């Protein structure tokens, strides 16, 4: 179930989240929300919802393996081009 309700930006940029939405999400006074700025607007969600969203988007992915693969590829390219890195103890002078 979803509501599409108009809200207005008030003094100091405050927005009142309609009671029906607060009740459905169990947001009470003092609840911490995350404001996600997107291409189409701002999404308000509680931290648990954002964590679930991130976990679902990353499901099946291995960011560390992807990063290591990218770094290995870059290192091979640099070696082929003869690029030396001063702070890399694994770079040897030829």
The phi, psi pair for 74, rounded to 5°, reads -60, -40
Quote the pTM value.
0.54
Nearest to 46 by CA among 33, 30, 56: 33
* pLDDT band per the 50, 70, 90 thresholds, residue 35: very high
Mean pLDDT comparison of 4-8, 10-14, 51-55, highest-scoring range:
10-14
What is each CA distance from 29 to 19, 24, 80, 85, in whole angstroms?
11, 14, 60, 54
**CATH of span 1-83:** 2.10.260.10
Domain ranges of the chain: 1-83
CA distance 1 to 13: 27
Please give the mean pLDDT across all residues of the chain.
Answer: 86
């Amino acid at each position: 179930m979803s509501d599409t309700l108009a809200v207005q930006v008030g003094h100091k940029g405050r927005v009142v989240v309609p009671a029906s939405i607060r009740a459905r999400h169990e947001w009470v006074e003092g609840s911490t929300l995350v404001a996600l700025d997107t291409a189409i607007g701002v999404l308000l969600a509680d931290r648990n919802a954002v964590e679930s969203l991130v976990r679902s988007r990353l499901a099946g992915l291995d960011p560390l393996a992807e990063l290591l693969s990218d770094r290995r590829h870059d290192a091979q390219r640099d070696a082929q081009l003869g690029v030396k890195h001063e702070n890399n103890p694994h770079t040897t002078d030829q």
